[in-house]
């Protein structure tokens, strides 16, 4: 066997990281299954990217059944707290909100979006997020090209599940043409915009044809669309039902952006699998989550981010955005507290792209502010998020048969959740991308 001391003397980042046939990780403290016990002095064995053993004690490389030509990497994390790779259920990887955003909409090509997105993807992985769900991407096929390019190993980033274009009513939150002149708006037209049952079935099928892993719709108005359309329901109930039934008939889960309570409740009644944001949810909403076994993705970081912008007269928000941001931002923490206290299942999601890519882990402290224990917040970003994405066979815990996705920090995130804002070690599919 060929022994590769991959991290010895390495700088913080391993450029061009590559797979080895075997990896052994010596974990001083191991939270293999969030919600369970923290184990000490364990070895994680990874073969061809998959976890094949979680053993007591520090296993030697000689204990592997490696052939002479096999490569083996040993990672000494005896002084670290090791846990599953983090999962962000709500990102927008092809863009990041900035004062030039509206100009960039007409300046940047789809290729520009993909290249910019590759940078955001790398930053996200380095922050410890080994899997993300992209829920609405500017830039045509850029997000699908990024997803597939990362899977092939052409570029570095988290495993991506992508929705493609957001399903939205004309003039609604996911129709990004507001405020542009008509001929430009025609160029910017999205395949996700639909009105009426037949049109909405077609829009969903079109995203599936383009390669969508799931369907995202905007059930209500939203903060950062350039329109004073309030924050309430935008699709009618027959349209919502058409979207859910069409997506489900093609094996796709559906998630709904929703702020106003009528939109939240209508989406849940129509069979949606998760609610993003959920700002004005009430007791009735909480009851409606149960029959669908639906998740809430609270995106508290987005709430904090837009509230900060609203409070800053020099920020780049347009008047309709500013008014909505001031209204929504401060409400989100209490919303998450109410949902969590009443047993709504929560999956970790940030809306990064509104906030800066790579700052995703700031969401943990906000979830703890909303009443979750640090262990519950970690579970929301691992075991629960994996269930939410329908990927529990692949990710979410460090157990035999799953992908070799793990992160490590020096401190104890169960004592101080902000430890996760500074991840020291990142491995995805058995390949280390960041080391101590």
Closest CA to 306 of 218, 219, 221, 223: 223
SS3 175: coil
Closest CA to 134 of 155, 122, 117, 119: 117
Closest CB 243 distance from Zn ion, rounded Å: 17
Closest CB 433 distance from Zn ion, rounded Å: 25
- The window from 155-163, 335-343, 347-355, 419-427 that contacts Zn ion (CB under 5 A) reads 347-355
Cβ atoms of 44 and 82 within 8 Å: the answer is yes
Q: Cβ closer to Zn ion: 21 or 351?
A: 351
Distance CA 58, CA 80 (A): 14
Closest CB 91 distance from Zn ion, rounded Å: 8
Distance CA 177, CA 171 (A): 8
Written as six digits, the tokens of 387 are: 């269930």
Task: Write the DSSP assignment of 331-385 as a string of letters.
Answer: GHHHHHHHHHHTT-EE-----BTTBPTT-TTHHHHHHHHTT--HHHHHHHTTHHH
Q: Cβ closer to Zn ion: 46 or 380?
A: 380
Number of residues that bind Zn ion (CB under 5 A): 1
Nearest residue to Zn ion, by Cβ distance, number only: 351
SS3 224: coil
Q: Is 33 in the site for Zn ion (CB under 5 A)?
A: no
Q: Cβ closer to Zn ion: 43 or 305?
A: 305
Distance CA 149, CA 118 (A): 9
Q: Cβ closer to Zn ion: 164 or 435?
A: 164
Q: Cβ closer to Zn ion: 166 or 233?
A: 166
- The window from 192-200, 258-266, 343-351, 371-379 that contacts Zn ion (CB under 5 A) reads 343-351
Torsion, Cα 419 372 385 395, to 10 degrees, reads: 50
Cβ neighbours for 268, distance < 8 A, ≥ 6 positions apart? 275, 285, 288, 289, 292, 294
Q: Cβ closer to Zn ion: 351 or 419?
A: 351
Site string for Zn ion, 309-328 (x = CB under 5 A): --------------------
Cβ neighbours for 413, distance < 8 A, ≥ 6 positions apart? 81, 83, 364, 374, 378, 419, 420
Q: Cβ closer to Zn ion: 47 or 351?
A: 351
Indicate which single residue of 351, 405, 421, 424 sits in contact with Zn ion (rule: CB under 5 A).
Answer: 351
- The window from 117-125, 166-174, 228-236, 345-353 that contacts Zn ion (CB under 5 A) reads 345-353
- Angle at alpha carbon of residue 342, lines to 340 and 346, rounded to 5°: 35
Closest CB 187 distance from Zn ion, rounded Å: 23
Closest CB 352 distance from Zn ion, rounded Å: 9
Q: Cβ closer to Zn ion: 327 or 351?
A: 351
Closest CB 350 distance from Zn ion, rounded Å: 9
- The window from 143-151, 318-326, 351-359, 421-429 that contacts Zn ion (CB under 5 A) reads 351-359
- The window from 50-58, 108-116, 346-354, 374-382 that contacts Zn ion (CB under 5 A) reads 346-354
Binding residues for Zn ion, rule: CB under 5 A, are 351
């Amino acid at each position: 066997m060929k022994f590769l001391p991959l991290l010895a003397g390495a700088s913080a980042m391993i450029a061009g990281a590559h797979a080895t046939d075997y990896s052994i990780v010596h974990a001083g403290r191991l939270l293999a299954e969030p919600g369970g016990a923290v184990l000490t002095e364990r070895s994680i064995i990874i073969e061809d990217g998959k976890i094949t053993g979680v053993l007591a004690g520090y296993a030697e490389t000689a204990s592997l059944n490696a052939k002479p030509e096999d490569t083996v990497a040993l990672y000494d994390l005896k002084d670290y707290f090791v846990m599953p790779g983090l999962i962000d259920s709500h990102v927008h990887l092809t863009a990041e909100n900035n004062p030039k955003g509206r100009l960039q909409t007409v300046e940047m090509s789809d290729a520009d979006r993909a290249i910019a997105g590759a940078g955001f993807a790398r930053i996200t992985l380095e922050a410890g997020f080994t899997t993300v769900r992209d829920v609405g991407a500017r830039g045509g096929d850029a997000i699908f090209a990024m997803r597939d390019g990362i899977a092939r190993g052409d570029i570095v980033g988290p495993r991506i599940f992508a929705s493609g274009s957001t399903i939205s009513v004309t003039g609604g939150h996911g129709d990004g043409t507001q405020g542009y002149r008509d001929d430009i708006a025609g160029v910017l037209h999205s395949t996700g915009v639909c009105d009426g049952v037949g049109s909405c079935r077609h829009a969903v099928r079109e995203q599936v044809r383009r390669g969508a892993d799931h369907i995202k719709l905007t059930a209500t108005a939203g903060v950062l669309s350039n329109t004073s359309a309030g924050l309430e329901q935008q699709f009618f109930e027959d349209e919502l039902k058409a979207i859910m039934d069409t997506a489900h008939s093609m094996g796709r889960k559906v998630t709904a952006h929703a702020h106003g309570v009528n939109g939240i409740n209508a989406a849940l009644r129509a069979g949606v699998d998760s609610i993003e944001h959920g700002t004005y949810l009430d007791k009735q909403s909480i009851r409606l989550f149960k029959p669908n076994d639906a998740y809430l993705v609270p995106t508290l970081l987005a709430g904090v981010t837009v509230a900060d912008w609203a409070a800053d007269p020099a920020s780049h928000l347009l008047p309709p955005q500013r008014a909505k941001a001031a209204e929504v931002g401060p409400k989100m923490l209490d919303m998450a507290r109410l949902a969590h206290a009443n047993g709504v299942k929560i999956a970790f999601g940030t809306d990064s792209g509104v906030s800066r890519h790579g700052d995703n882990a700031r969401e943990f402290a906000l979830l703890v502010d909303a009443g979750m224990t640090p262990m519950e917040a970690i579970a929301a970003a691992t075991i629960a998020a994996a269930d939410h994405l329908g990927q529990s066979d692949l990710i979410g815990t460090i157990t035999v048969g799953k992908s070799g996705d793990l992160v490590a920090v020096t401190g104890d995130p169960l004592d101080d959740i902000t430890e996760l804002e500074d991840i020291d070690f990142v491995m995805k599919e058995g390949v280390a991308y960041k080391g101590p």
